[in-house]
Structure 1
Amino acid sequence: MEQIGIIREIWRYPVKGMAGEALKEGRLVAGAGIEGDRLWALRDTARGEIQGCKFRPELLGCDARLRADGSGHVDVRFPEGDVMGSDDGDIHASLSALTGRSSTLEALRPLGDGSFYRRHKADDHTWFEELKATFARLPGEPLPDFSGAPPEFSEYVCQPGTFFLVTPFHLVTTATLARLRASSPAADWNVRRFRPNVVIETAPEAEGYVEQDWIGRKLHLGSARVACTETTPRCGAVARKQRGLSEDASILRSIVREAEQNLGIYGRGLETGCLRVGDAVYLI
């Protein structure tokens, strides 16, 4: 094994599409991701569809924290500072007002409840046009290649039994952020824009988009192991306004131009274990 860095930050996002919480340590679960990640999501009642920050960017103005009492409930802080719990009956009306759409905050449901995770489809093509629009590309800029997507991608807005679109784990490296910062130094490359589960601090000599070379390999992080599965093409959400971060379209333009539209990689837990800030990261 080769040590390629240390864990600099650990994040989880208890509500899909909202800002999350930084952790000193976390538990990575085999076949999944960080424990407590994406346990809740907003559901548009008219469309009957789960929503994230791609379609409801207003969610990025909220942050969510998982309660430590083991109840599974979360507390949501709204843009104006008000805090409401997932067990507060008024939270649905507050989220509806925030997004301008009648919505409910919903907990995960079992894998077998397929209708809960199904895409809204007015016809055979509008859903795909809506999805492409969320990537906010300018004329001449490439879109992600959807040709290899599994058949269920067109049927479900996220993987049934989860609130994840692709895989349940996502990482970025300081090397990638440094390369992009050098390409556009006036932009704010705050890592919160990219919603990783883990930020790996790479060695000073590591340059460029190093994690792209890890796809198909495995990482040992703390006492857990992760399969690096695929790259992460970026949508317009990275440029959106968040708490403490202004809207900045140059972020997305730089990623598309300089990094082949990818920043970070996806993964999946292979072996359950604990992660702590400062733990060594090894490439297997």
Structure 2
Amino acid sequence: MLIGHIKELVRHPVKSLRGESVEKSKIMEYGLYGDRSHAYIDETNHGKFLTITQFKEMVQYQARFIGEDSLDEYPKVEVMTPEGKVFNWQDEELIKEMENKSKRKISTKEYSPSLVPIGPIEVEHILLATDASLDYLEELWGGKEIDVRRFRPNLFISLIDKVPFSEEKWMGRRIKIGSEVEIQLVAHCERCMIITVNPDNAELDSSLLKTVVKERKSNFGVYASVIRTGEIQVGDEVLLLD
């Protein structure tokens, strides 16, 4: 059954930095090609990943791949700072800037193009959200516009039947995207303080999280596992399989 189309594809070359919207992407066994394949490590916190939770200004740093996707090695990863300066993601000047702002000691970690473990990706391979659910959440939040980047989905789906949170009713079922890719919906995405951070200026507004906790039991969006790899692009049909 045709349920919608891919409205936006977003991958995050560096964990917790702003992602890049792409027209097409390979779907690997771990999710979108290169998604969270690079990460900053917080050496002051037992070598754990540095995330927006510890350093909210990370949302203002834009990461993107420069060059063609390759299974042998990743293209160059470029990071644009909030002030518009552009660096290689491992540039010493960039690292020093982030260390000064975050007051933490930072190192870097990179994974293979063929394998990114679940840890940096979050709970599962892919996170999806729908336009109908976002629109309804805006109503619940007093009619204020919500930037979907707050939720950091890989797949943002435009539904034909605009029923909010219908994706939660498809848990355990498979979805086909385009002619090749199949994913299976496996879990709710329980939200944390990250959604309170404005993607443009890093200002905090706890009322959004309070709304999601009260109205949606902290959940927004659905995690999915990759069943069949392939390539997808914006505009692809999304079908709910029997």
Task: Tell me if both proteins adopt one fold, taking TM over 0.5 as the criterion.
Answer: yes
Q: Is the 8 A contact 1:187 1:251 kept in 2?
A: no
**Residue number in structure 2 paired with 1:53:** 52
**Residue number in structure 2 paired with 1:280:** 237
> Compared with structure 1, are the counterparts of its residues 246 and 161 closer, same or farther at alpha carbon in structure 2 (3 Å cutoff)?
closer
SS of equivalent residue, structure 1 residue 163: helix
Structure 1 residue 246 displacement after superposition: 4.6
Distance 1:277 1:178 in 2: 20
SS of equivalent residue, structure 1 residue 90: helix
Q: Which moved more, 1:84-93 or 1:3-12?
A: 84-93
Distance 2:148 2:123 in 1: 20
The unaligned stretches of length 5 or more in structure 2 are: none
Distance 1:174 1:78 in 2: 29
SS of equivalent residue, structure 1 residue 180: helix
> Compared with structure 1, are the counterparts of its residues 160 and 201 closer, same or farther at alpha carbon in structure 2 (3 Å cutoff)?
closer
Distance 1:245 1:181 in 2: 19
1:148-179 C-alpha deviation (Å, 9 max, x unpaired)? xxxxxxxxxxx957512211210001111121
Distance 1:109 1:5 in 2: 32
Letter in 1 for 2:40: L
**Residue number in structure 2 paired with 1:17:** 16
Judging by fraction of residues, say which structure has more strand: 2
> Compared with structure 1, are the counterparts of its residues 234 and 87 closer, same or farther at alpha carbon in structure 2 (3 Å cutoff)?
closer
Q: Is the 8 A contact 2:191 2:209 kept in 1?
A: yes
1:123-142 alignment, distance < 5 Å: none
Task: Work out whether 1:267 is the aligned partner of 2:227.
Answer: no
1:133-172 alignment, distance < 5 Å: 160=117, 162-172=119-129
Pairing partner for 2:162 from 206, 210, 230: 206
Q: Is the 8 A contact 2:26 2:229 kept in 1?
A: yes
Task: Work out whether 1:95 is the aligned partner of 2:51.
Answer: no
1:27-72 C-alpha deviation (Å, 9 max, x unpaired)? 111x310001111111112332222222322211211001215552
Q: Is the 8 A contact 1:62 1:243 kept in 2?
A: no
Pairing partner for 1:181 from 130, 138, 153: 138
Structure 1 residue 254 displacement after superposition: 1.5
**Residue number in structure 2 paired with 1:140:** none
**Residue number in structure 1 paired with 2:37:** 39
The unaligned stretches of length 5 or more in structure 1 are: 111-158
Distance 1:227 1:270 in 2: 7
Q: Which moved more, 1:228-237 or 1:266-275?
A: 266-275
Letter in 2 for 1:188: E
Structure 1 residue 207 displacement after superposition: 1.7
- How many residues are paired up? 234
Pairing partner for 1:221 from 165, 177, 189: 177
Letter in 1 for 2:176: H
Letter in 2 for 1:229: V
Distance 1:237 1:254 in 2: 14
Distance 2:176 2:98 in 1: 39
Q: Which has the larger radius of gyration?
A: 1
> Compared with structure 1, are the counterparts of its residues 105 and 275 closer, same or farther at alpha carbon in structure 2 (3 Å cutoff)?
same
> Compared with structure 1, are the counterparts of its residues 51 and 202 closer, same or farther at alpha carbon in structure 2 (3 Å cutoff)?
same
Percent identical pairs in the alignment equals 28
Q: Is the 8 A contact 2:195 2:208 kept in 1?
A: yes
Distance 2:201 2:33 in 1: 26
Q: Is the 8 A contact 1:187 1:250 kept in 2?
A: no
